Amino acid sequence: MKGRRGDAATAGLNFDVVVVGAGHAGCEAALAAARMGQRVALVTLSVEKIALMPCNPAVGGVGKGQLTREVDALGGEQGRNTDRSFIQIKMLNTSKGPAVRALRAQADKRLYEDWMRHTIFRTPGLEVVQGEVASLDVSRETVRGLRLVDGRRLGARAVVLATGTFLRAKVVIGDRSYPAGRVGELPADHLSTSLRAVGLELGRFQSATPPRIDGRTIDPARMVPQPGEEGGLRFSHWQEPAARTQVPCYLTYTTPDTHDVVASHLHLSPLKSGSIGGRGPRYCPSIDRKIINFPDRTRHPVFVEPEGARTFEMYLQGLTTSLPVFVQEAIIRATPGLENARLVRPGYAVEYDYIIPQQLKLSLEYKHMQGLFSAGQINGTSGYEEAAAQGLMAGINAALSARGEPPVVLTRDQAYIGVLIDDLVTKGVDEPYRMFTSRAEYRLILRHDNADERLSAMGHALGLISDAQLEQVQRKQTLIEEGSLALASAQVRPSQASDEALESLGTAPLTETQSAAQLLRRPQLLFDDVVRLLDATARDRLGGLPSDVAEQLAIRAQYDGYIERQMAEIRRHKATEGTLIPRGLDFHSLEGLTVEAKDKLARLQPETLGQASRIAGVSPADVSVLMIHLHRRQADS
């Protein structure tokens, strides 16, 4: 392709949106923009490696699963793609309340990639381009397109960077270290240099992955099988569950022998030798780190997880390490059930540049570069779900920007996606960011089970959710409202029958007449138990409700009071959250702000008063002062 530079102006190479990187962020971004009617190019280093899972072969988990459900409710792909390719699925936290339940699925990695590639190629308006992006084309703080290493130039009205761990990346195993985006892949050094050249600030993080072994060489008898859950669990709201065969994972534990192996080779650990820099995620410690930090623990769990139905490779969750390969082998063999295991791919660590995310607006567009967006691990996060969530939003907003329309932003009270992005761009990161439910202040409202109710109207307005899908959600909502009224009005009088029924379910008999809604608050009673206590008319109205509606009614009853409290909290913050701060406001000229607040505000340029209030160093008094000034400006104009 050399010498094609002259073709730069060719219409065929001009796009509305160009997405760089076909990882989990890039795929969502490209699909969303194309589905919104844009002409999209998805540029990636290798078409073989679309939606590759370089780490854990799993989607979901507590906090992350909520993100995937939200992506699905907005018309994204991750949920559906997982449903088509999982080899095990289960609901987590079933012993806790609904707000913290979440799905986790074990994907067949290969199938996951194949389905995503299939969807991408079949999406109209979306072109896949293999190549390495070398630099951005910018003029007057606006992105115009980009150049590939082979000389091609792609014109674009908006660009989404989703290059994951590839920027100036370096792989480390033991004392060996060499430039690579992932093991066996080239790093993206040119792009990193180009980003610095246009003024972006970059930081350095690291991440690591455990070794993979040959599944035929393990001894399942010495481990605890961890089966999936039957019953049609699925991530996607939108399609009937197709039958899938599930396979078990296995749980084993390290022993003092394993720890001895690690301890006696710690001097070879990149942690100690200093051959790796950058901060790594604390929630994903290597086995070296666990043994250094928790010397008293006599065992650590190791989950042995199949990587797919057509491979024998298994993933050793819990044994992340970048110790030299011979030590990795010794560690594995010292672990029960893995005594004869054969190492297929060694674990390794990768060190890479990320972009300091406070340079982004809430739309994921750069504050100082119009039309440039970024999403995924490049923004300092880790995980497929975090990547997909940002990719979807960046793709949507790149499409809107290409059309000259204002962006959409999810708030902290609407979605985990809103929490994720607000945290990133407002507070920044000091380790790779992962979602936890504890990060969401409105956790009881942002549930796995109501993502559709929260977000599908927005997805529909954007053209990512069909009329039929929206109607499905609206029907459910209507039934919930009706059911909720019926529950409040249906009365149960104390009687011998009700006494006996309640006592047999392990709860106290009634002392006075109560509504069905009140009874449902008792933790011992399920929805159906309460329905059985009702008179015939009420039983008819409530008994026939679909199970997802009954579930919502039970949740409302269970969280009664707490949900109202959170709603009141949200209302209380509406005024601040909804007050926009005009771009380019000269904070230094505002009377009454502290010097520290002025500096922080001027540097971060928050978009709303709510965002300003979450900046460290900006006090409630500063927020009040700012509110007064904004009010005055508004009235002046």
Q: Which residues bind ligand FAD (CB under 6 A)?
A: 20-26, 43-46, 49, 54-55, 132-133, 162-166, 181-182, 188, 191, 207-209, 281, 284, 350, 376-377, 382-384, 387, 434
C-alpha triplet 88, 91, 92: angle, nearest 5°: 115
Query: Whole-number minimum distance, CB 521 to another protein, in Å?
Result: 9
Q: Does position 625 bind another protein by CB under 8 A? A: yes
- CA dist., res. 436 & res. 447, Å (int): 13
Count H helices, E strands: the chain? Answer: 22, 23
The beta strands (E) that lie in 162-312 are given as: 170-173, 176-179, 202-209, 212-214, 224-226, 249-253, 301-306
| DSSP-derived pairing of the beta strands 14-20 and 40-44 | parallel
- CA dist., res. 128 & res. 117, Å (int): 10
User: Cβ(218)–Cβ(338) under 8 Å?
Assistant: yes
Judged by beta carbon distances under 5 to 8 A according to partner kind, the member of another protein, ligand FAD, none in contact with residue 20 is ligand FAD
Query: Whole-number minimum distance, CB 243 to ligand FAD, in Å?
Result: 29
Q: Judged by CB, which is closer to another protein: 193, or 594?
A: 594
Q: Does position 582 bind another protein by CB under 8 A? A: no
Residue 30 φ then ψ, to 5°: -65, -45
Q: Does position 207 bind another protein by CB under 8 A? A: no
Query: Whole-number minimum distance, CB 364 to another protein, in Å?
Result: 21
- The label of the residue with tokens 């194949």 reads 114
Judged by beta carbon distances under 5 to 8 A according to partner kind, the member of another protein, ligand FAD, none in contact with residue 54 is ligand FAD
Helices 547-558 and 467-489: angle between axes, nearest 10 degrees: 50
Q: Is 215 in a helix, a strand, or coil?
A: helix
User: Cβ(65)–Cβ(103) under 8 Å?
Assistant: yes
Query: Whole-number minimum distance, CB 577 to another protein, in Å?
Result: 12
Query: Whole-number minimum distance, CB 382 to another protein, in Å?
Result: 12
Q: Does position 281 bind another protein by CB under 8 A? A: yes
Query: Whole-number minimum distance, CB 348 to ligand FAD, in Å?
Result: 6
What is the dihedral angle through the alpha carbons of 362, 363, 366, 367, rounded to the nearest 10 degrees?
-50
Q: Which of 197, 575, 580, 602 binds another protein (CB under 8 A)?
A: 575
Residue 212 φ then ψ, to 5°: -110, 145
Total binding residues for another protein by CB under 8 A? 61
- The label of the residue with tokens 């880790």 reads 382
Q: Judged by CB, which is closer to another protein: 196, or 521?
A: 521
Position 350, amino acid: V
Q: Does position 523 bind another protein by CB under 8 A? A: yes
Q: Which of 241, 301, 546, 582 binds another protein (CB under 8 A)?
A: 301
Q: Judged by CB, which is closer to ligand FAD: 34, or 623?
A: 34
Q: Does position 340 bind another protein by CB under 8 A? A: no
Q: Does position 400 bind another protein by CB under 8 A? A: no
| DSSP-derived pairing of the beta strands 170-173 and 176-179 | antiparallel
- CA dist., res. 626 & res. 591, Å (int): 9
Judged by beta carbon distances under 5 to 8 A according to partner kind, the member of another protein, ligand FAD, none in contact with residue 62 is another protein
- CA dist., res. 194 & res. 136, Å (int): 7
Judged by beta carbon distances under 5 to 8 A according to partner kind, the member of another protein, ligand FAD, none in contact with residue 142 is none
Q: Judged by CB, which is closer to ligand FAD: 166, or 527?
A: 166
Query: Whole-number minimum distance, CB 303 to another protein, in Å?
Result: 7
User: Cβ(179)–Cβ(187) under 8 Å?
Assistant: yes
- The label of the residue with tokens 């070296």 reads 288
User: Cβ(443)–Cβ(62) under 8 Å?
Assistant: no
Q: Judged by CB, which is closer to another protein: 126, or 444?
A: 444
Q: Does position 437 bind another protein by CB under 8 A? A: yes
Q: Which two tokens stand for residue 458?
A: 């927005």
Q: Does position 129 bind another protein by CB under 8 A? A: no
Q: Does position 97 bind another protein by CB under 8 A? A: yes
Judged by beta carbon distances under 5 to 8 A according to partner kind, the member of ligand FAD, another protein, none in contact with residue 376 is ligand FAD
Q: Judged by CB, which is closer to another protein: 38, or 576?
A: 576
Distances (CA, A) of 483 to 245, 394, 589: 36, 38, 55
Q: Judged by CB, which is closer to another protein: 63, or 270?
A: 63
Query: Whole-number minimum distance, CB 135 to another protein, in Å?
Result: 37
Q: Give the DSSP letter of residue 512.
A: S
User: Cβ(405)–Cβ(397) under 8 Å?
Assistant: no
Site string for another protein, 597-616 (x = CB under 8 A): -------------------x
- CA dist., res. 359 & res. 369, Å (int): 10
Q: Does position 225 bind another protein by CB under 8 A? A: no
Q: Judged by CB, which is closer to ligand FAD: 195, or 501?
A: 195
Site string for another protein, 31-70 (x = CB under 8 A): -------------------------x----xxx-------
Distances (CA, A) of 442 to 413, 449, 566: 6, 14, 6
Q: Does position 572 bind another protein by CB under 8 A? A: yes
- CA dist., res. 68 & res. 417, Å (int): 9
Q: Judged by CB, which is closer to ligand FAD: 191, or 451?
A: 191
Residues whose CB is less than 8 angstroms from the CB of residue 497 and which lie 6 or more positions away in sequence, other chains included: none
Binders in 456-475 for another protein, by CB under 8 A: none
User: Cβ(553)–Cβ(520) under 8 Å?
Assistant: yes
Catalog residues that contact another protein under the rule CB under 8 A.
Answer: 56, 61-63, 92-93, 95-97, 99-100, 104, 251, 253, 281-285, 290, 293-294, 297, 300-301, 303, 317-318, 320, 436-439, 443-444, 523, 558-559, 562, 565, 571-572, 575, 590-594, 616, 619-621, 624-625, 627-629, 631-632, 635-636
